Amino acid sequence: MKAMIGFYIALFFLYLFGPLAVMSVTAFNTPSYPQAIPFEGFTLDWFVKLWNHRAMMEGLKNSIIIGLGVVAVSVPVGLAAAIIMNQIYHRARSTFYLVTVSPVLTPGVIIGISTVIFWKDMMGMTDVTKAWFYKGIILAILGQSSFVAAYALLIIMARLQRFDRAQEEAALDLGASHPQVFWHILLPFLKPAMISAGVIAFLSSFENYNTTTFAILADKTLVTVLAGEVRQGTTPALSALAVIIIGLSLLGAIIYEVMKRREEAQAERSKENAKIAERSDLGEAGPAGLK
């Protein structure tokens, strides 16, 4: 049984990381077609060609801009929806939840097409407003945010359910206003969930294809450029791009883990210091109480 479990785990990791390992090797191999075996020679030319690929770099820039825009829109909307969900009547929560989460269940093709049609025809905008809103990047941000905000809602809502409302009531009893309670009590408590929601929103936007294909209009993102390049035939430059994305993902994961461990160590030190201070206070109060 142990041998079977070990074989299954090895097969699982081979299936999971095997293609990534092969693609990483092809990024440093000299042939013009992605090839891992035989390894004819080490080269970095494919990274240089990737850097000089104008459409790829333009798509990468647009993907980053759209991702940051989606984060700026979806996280505040998800935060507001989570707060409303936590405060409305229990009977209305199911209906509100259905309305806010329904975009996740809607196909991305429909969201992309409806976004373009809505902002083009249904709003009756003038030429001036069209110049500001009817752009591929703006439409992609609006289309993606319509369902990415639901992800942010679910992440923040999971954190908000563990919030102790007695802290708000105590702050209000001590004279704090509602904005002060929000900025100094609720928002710091929700900060980890908001950061997680921002990361999920950016990654969901960065890799989105269905909605972006219709909402981006004449502009391009990295995903749409990659789709066009793959149709024409793949090159090791795409493998070089995959290596860069994998490296950035690993670097981000390492940085997050280091920061998390530092926070946990700092919290443990704070608890130990609090225990030491409590013991010292008890030691000083002991003789005084006896006197």
**Sign of the torsion angle spanned by Cα atoms 109, 60, 77, 257:** positive
pLDDT-above-70 percentage for the chain: 92
Average pLDDT value for residue range 264-285? 75
Q: Is the pLDDT of residue 287 over 60?
A: no
Residue with more model confidence, 262 or 123: 262
Mapped onto helix, strand or coil, the DSSP state of residue 40 is coil
Query: Can you list the domains of the chain with their CATH numbers?
Result: 51-233 (1.10.3720.10)
Q: Is the pLDDT of residue 8 over 90?
A: yes
Q: Whole-model pTM?
A: 0.77
- CB contact set of 178 (below 8 Å; sequence gap of 6+): 172
Condensed to tens digits (0 to 9), the pLDDT of residues 17-61 reads 888 888 888 888 877 777 777 777 788 888 888 888 888 888 888
Phi, psi values for residue 35, rounded to 5°: -145, 125
Condensed to tens digits (0 to 9), the pLDDT of residues 212-244 reads 888 888 778 888 888 877 777 777 888 888 888
